[in-house]
Amino acid sequence: MKFERNFLTGFLLLAALLGVFIQSDYLLHILTLVLIYAILASSLNLIVGYVGEFPLGHVAFFGLGAYTVAILGAPEVGMPITLTIPLAAFVAAAFGWLIGRITLRLNGPFFVIVTLAFAEVLRLLATNWVSLTNGPMGIAGIGHPAVLDMAPWLQGKRGFVAMGIVLAALTFFIAYRLVHSSAGRAAVTLRENNYVAQSVGIDPFRYSMFVFIVAAFLAGLAGAYYATYISFVGPEVFGFPFTATMIIIVLLGGKGTLSGPVVGAIAVTLLEEYLREFKELRLSLFGIIVMAVVLFAPDGVMGYVRHRFQSLFRRTSHA
């Protein structure tokens, strides 16, 4: 418990330090990407690690968050980000409720495929509902957050890094509290043994829904941050590349741990940038990495750490 809390706090501090001292805009850009992925992967990890199902369509909530900010933050409407970002997260959470109601009653491959179906439907809607989303042309020119123009040191990318740190801190806090709450423990019990859990009165559906909605909220947050940073949103936010990256991050970092997604986000973002030199091989290597992790290190990096350093993770409930 303590180890994870310290790890996450340490990461945020490190990110803040880097944000202050790094001069290169390119490196700040990488840092921002790491933060976006850390938030997104943390949200996916909640479902994978604590509900025990794999929502291949999780990117739907990311995309919903991104589009909400895009539609409301575009020049014509021009809502400020203090409004659009929370709204985006809530929209994503609302859809989480809707989609969860339908999908959480299913299990295994059905769950996987139907969440994927939802993500695809949203992608097709985004591509074809031109009057709302401008179709494949996407929405450009999302407003620069006014709050980032307040202080000179928030100019440019540094401001976005600061924003990311705030959002990441919020995410880690929520995730941490969820996991260590009774709701979180109930979810873990369900994951470990569904029938025993039910026999002591835990309603699987209620707890799964709760975790699902929170995860959707956080994914929407990641999407909103992404949209504000890139200032351009198109149907690709519902696309498979984000899904693939998310999967790799959660797997590599270690599912079911809070620090796993952060480790994974750092590793994968750096890998993606370094593998630029091997453009053609890049994606092939990703495929091999996924397979290797599944076969040889199914608990990822943090899982290995936890295995080796048991003492760090000793606590009353194990997740």
Minimal distance, residue 161 CB to another protein, in Å = 14
Minimal distance, residue 144 CB to another protein, in Å = 11
User: What tokens were used for 30?
Assistant: 């990488």
Neighbour tally for 134: CB within 10 Å: 18
Q: Which is nearer to another protein, 276 or 316 (CB)?
A: 276
The SS3 call for residue 272 is helix
Q: Which is nearer to another protein, 6 or 128 (CB)?
A: 128
Minimal distance, residue 98 CB to another protein, in Å = 11
Give 232's strand partners.
Answer: 140
With beta carbons less than 8 A apart as the criterion, state whether 52 and 211 touch: no
Q: Which is nearer to another protein, 78 or 298 (CB)?
A: 298
Nearest to 72 by CA among 20, 136, 141, 162: 141
Q: Which is nearer to another protein, 170 or 194 (CB)?
A: 194
Give 139's strand partners.
Answer: 233
Minimal distance, residue 265 CB to another protein, in Å = 15
Q: Which is nearer to another protein, 5 or 282 (CB)?
A: 282
Q: Residue 37: which residues within 8 A CB-CB, separation 6 or more? A: 222, 245, 246, 249, 264, 265, 268, 269
* Side chain identity at residue 147, one-letter code: V
Nearest to 97 by CA among 221, 217, 222, 243: 217
Minimal distance, residue 172 CB to another protein, in Å = 24
